[in-house]
Amino acid sequence: MVDEMSDPTIGSPGERDLRALQEVRWRAQRDRVAAWSAFYRRTGRAFDGVGLDGLVAVEPTRKEELLASQAEYGPFGDYLACDERELRRIHRTSGLTGRGLVLAQTAADTAVMHVVGGRSMLAAGLERTDRVVHCLNYRLWTGGLTDHLILEAAGATVVPFGVGDTRLLIETILELGVTAISCTPSYPALIEKVLRAETNFEPRDLGLRIGLFGGEPGIENPDFRSRIEETFGMIARNANFGLSEVLSILGGQCDASGDLHFHAGDAVFAELLEPTSGERVEITEGAVGELVLTHLLKEAQPLVRYRSGDVVSITGTGLCACGRTSFRFRMTGRADDMFNVRGVNIFPTAVREIIDGQPTLTSGHFRIVIRGPGPYDRVEIKAEAAESVPQERYDEIAGALEAALRDGLRASAVVSVVPHGSLGRTAEKTSLIERVPA
């Protein structure tokens, strides 16, 4: 099934050929799901004779249903679509906002992930001559082991560092001549802090050529990305957009655009849904909607019309300057992180853009404080002061940020400024939201 997907240097087909290939692969996948997946039979979702266009009539699959399935039917849920003896790897989602999903993979499933993810790394600018240190969690999350193997599939030499012990990481980069780093977007700030506090080195002294980021929002913001590039003297790219339950990596940036390419078209069928009504939105330039994803090649736990929770804006569907034909998009935010303030939908990514636009006032680190279930009449934010800002200016900074947020979000905001370095820096995923019970 994956014979045609053995080399990540070969991109997915052009638009016309891609749709024909998707239909062929969907028919085989549809039969597999019908034969194996008790979940889709039990929930009354009928696929018999349904093509990709006809999927619009099928109720989308929600994460809550998968969690309930695993709770009732054992670790893999009753949407497992293969014999358990075919499984070769088990992961779990990070569960940042709740209990994680158990993820089962066959050998073919892992091969598809390595190829699609490898495309993203190569598009972002990773080269076969690079020595890349991988600083994501190597425990149950797919970002550790799977993304390590993706980097290898792209042809790079990989140093499996994991998370923690930033001082040792610095020593490792210098000793081994590391040229690339794979980590969360918030981690460079911790590396910089340790460098300045514990060594005589500057960030540029590390000699990093490129940073490949994922696991958190932020790097797609031009101001945030430019700050990392200026500080470390390296290219900074989002090479790691994905969902563990679908594919570890689905898309990433190229060298010609700050937008994300969808690299998985021959393995995953993508739709857009209007987040509130659930109506399908055509993938055309300017369209906005929640990504809904259907596996075309998945063997172990195939998902049909899975609501990703990621709201995206389509920025291009034609040929990119890099030569790729895949559609391009930007993250608008997470549907489950969206909250409403007096009728205005607010995404943390929109708050980040505004905070990052004030580099002389803040370090760029902040948290959105959500108190209770709502409704809310204002946005409450803790923002970290820039390193050189004295405490006597905190009230002034808070006022300036409140005005910028009010203008940018069209909603009232109240800001508390906290000292530089007081909000955590970590190699792990960092949530921008602090939820406080009512």
Q: Where are the domains of the chain?
A: 1-334, 339-436
According to the model, what pLDDT value does residue 13 have? 66
Rounded Cα gap, residues 333 and 217, in angstroms: 8
pTM of the prediction? 0.79
CATH number, domain 339-436: 3.30.300.30
Rg (CA), the chain: 22
CB count within 10 Å of CB 152 equals: 16
> What rounded mean pLDDT belongs to the chain?
89
Residue 97 has pLDDT above 60, yes or no: no
- Tokens 């679509």 locate to 81
* Cβ–Cβ under 8 Å, residues 154 and 129: no
pLDDT per position as a tens digit, 181-203: 999 988 999 999 999 999 999 99
Closest C-alpha to 123, from 147, 92, 154: 154
pLDDT per position as a tens digit, 215-230: 777 787 788 889 999 9
Classify domain 1-334 at the CATH class level: alpha beta
Closest C-alpha to 42, from 6, 66, 25: 66
According to the model, what pLDDT value does residue 10 have? 67
Q: How confident is the model at residue 296 (pLDDT cuts 50, 70, 90)?
A: very high
Rounded Cα gap, residues 193 and 8, in angstroms: 36
pLDDT per position as a tens digit, 350-404: 788 888 888 889 988 889 888 877 778 888 899 999 888 899 999 999 999 999 9
Compute CA distances 392 → 195, 378, 400, 430, whole Å: 28, 25, 14, 29
Query: What is the pLDDT averaged over residues 309-319?
Result: 92
